Amino acid sequence: MPVRDLTAEDHLAYATMTADAFGGSFDPTAPDAARDFAPGQTAIGIDSSSLSAGEGAVLAAGARIRHDRIMLGGATARCGGVGGLAVHPAHRGEGLFGRLLTAVVARCHAESMPLSMLYPSNPAIYRRYGYQVVARGQSLIVPLLDLQRIAPVPRRHLVPVTAGTMPRVRDLYHRLCAEDNAMLRREGPLFPEGLPGGGWSALLLVDEDGDDQGYLSWTRRGDAGDGVGLDVHEILGRTREDRLALLRSLGSWATVTELVRLRLRTDDPLLDVLPGGRARPDPSPVPLVMMRVVDTAATLRARTAPAGLAGAVRLVVEDGTVPAGTCAAAGDFLVSAAEGEIVARPLEARSSGAAAPGIADPPVLGTVRLDVHAASLLLVGGRTLADARRQGLVAAADPAAESFVDALLAGPRPSVLDAF
């Protein structure tokens, strides 16, 4: 069952199959119907004709790999976002899911994407291939009357976001999320320039000197009978006062609706400024984010080391979830940090004298052993080896080596907000 690249000629078959798999419909005669795969992604699939009892001109399975970049440890890393992985009903139970997902991992490796990300409806089937839950979406239902009690914040005013000011929102997003882990960079062509559309609206918060301090974005909802009149996508501000000012502006909607649904990052700073105690968790299903390390050394090199941290460890990563050679997650690595830089290379490279000229390896503090699930959890940042062990993952280490790795990978716990 060979896996091949899909082309524009395959788009109709793929769109029809995924509409059937995930719900909805695809009308190729509609004036705005897509005729090809969107730029910024790779589409792969398996032909039915390559299978026993298969039919020609039928797509048996397919998936899309987004070419994203994510924030990671104060820097950025390339990440293959998996979407629309579907198997035709006639070919389910024939092993195509695993064959295709293994090909996704291999393609991410071939295209120098050291991480892969997906949003599963059934995490167990992806976990078999090395993916690990790293984040959970979080939303609160907030009474608007509570926000009206927030005192005015001096020297701040609001500016409507238009096509002309949207670049300022994008720039502010990048700056305010630069220290986060796993947040998408939201760059073209996957994120086109201009306003998102679909009823999306936003306000910029500006200080008295005209400098942007934060923004608030939302979509107005129709009457759903639950009193929730706004879906608030993001509230980002530089300071606590900026976040208060944005929340207070949100309270002005209390004249037309009672509640808002507020989407949050993991451990969102907004939780520290929400007034009152009447906010409640959103009863909707909690979205999960899974990630997989594809190239351990490249993922580590993409990060920056905390200031002042120096040392080295031996890192052993085991991965029995995909065939050997599919990717570069497994291996025996020397990982060192100095002057804000992380160096990671296979130990065989070290033994062959491949260290940088004139640079001696620092003393090794000990050994860390991880399975691929622990590596996928930890290398995204914000978790400790103890967190991995608490989840039943393999994360063993000498004490000094464990302290070093915990410090090396510290930072906010991962958050993923997939759109403005």
For 4-44, write each residue's pLDDT tens digit. 999 999 999 999 999 999 988 888 888 888 999 999 999 99
**Number of other CB atoms surrounding residue 399 within 10 Å:** 9
Question: CATH topology of 3-113 equal to that of 138-281?
Answer: yes
Does 189 sit behind a cis peptide bond, omega within 30 degrees of 0 on the bond before it?
A: yes
Contact assessment for residue 342 and residue 408, using Cβ atoms and an 8 Å cutoff:
yes
- DSSP state for residue 391 in the 8-state scheme: T
For 154-198, write each residue's pLDDT tens digit. 999 999 999 999 999 999 999 999 999 999 999 999 999 999 999
CA 129 distance to own-chain centroid: 18
Q: Is the pLDDT of residue 318 over 70?
A: yes
What are the residues whose beta carbons fall under 8 Å from the beta carbon of 75, sequence distance 6 or more?
A: 302, 303, 304
CATH for 138-281 (1.10.10.10, 3.40.50.410, 3.40.50.300, 3.40.630.30): 3.40.630.30
Domain 295-408 -> CATH class: alpha beta
For the chain, which residues make up each domain, given as ranges?
3-113, 138-281, 295-408
- Strands, E, within 108-148: which ranges? 115-118, 132-136, 138-143
Q: Which residues does residue 317 pair with via DSSP β-bridges, in sequence order?
A: 331, 370
Tokens of 412: 């906010």
Residue the block writes with tokens 């695993």: 98
**Number of other CB atoms surrounding residue 17 within 10 Å:** 23
Fold of 3-113: Aminopeptidase (3.40.630)
Which residue, among 286, 281, 283, 232, has the nearest Cα to 260 in the 3D structure? 232
Q: What is the pLDDT of residue 357?
A: 46
Q: What is the pLDDT of residue 1?
A: 72
Contact assessment for residue 86 and residue 43, using Cβ atoms and an 8 Å cutoff:
no
Handedness of CA 131, 261, 187, 16 (dihedral sign): positive
Cα–Cα distance measured from residue 359 to residue 265, given in angstroms and rounded to the nearest whole number: 40
Contact assessment for residue 132 and residue 376, using Cβ atoms and an 8 Å cutoff:
yes
For 62-108, write each residue's pLDDT tens digit. 999 999 999 999 999 999 999 999 999 999 999 999 999 999 999 99
Q: What is the pLDDT of residue 358?
A: 45
Which residue, among 153, 232, 242, 177, has the nearest Cα to 204 in the 3D structure? 242
- pTM of the entire structure? 0.93
Q: Which residues does residue 216 pair with via DSSP β-bridges, in sequence order?
A: 203, 235
Mean pLDDT, all residues of the chain: 93
For 243-298, write each residue's pLDDT tens digit. 999 999 999 999 999 999 999 999 999 999 999 889 999 999 999 999 999 999 99
Q: What is the pLDDT of residue 225?
A: 77
Largest Cα–Cα separation, the chain: 72
Cα–Cα distance measured from residue 78 to residue 303, given in angstroms and rounded to the nearest whole number: 11
Tokens of 84: 């629309």
Q: Is the pLDDT of residue 145 over 80?
A: yes
From residue 55, alpha-carbon distances to 59, 86, 144 in Å are 9, 17, 57
For 335-390, write each residue's pLDDT tens digit. 999 999 999 999 975 555 545 444 567 789 999 999 999 999 999 999 999 999 99
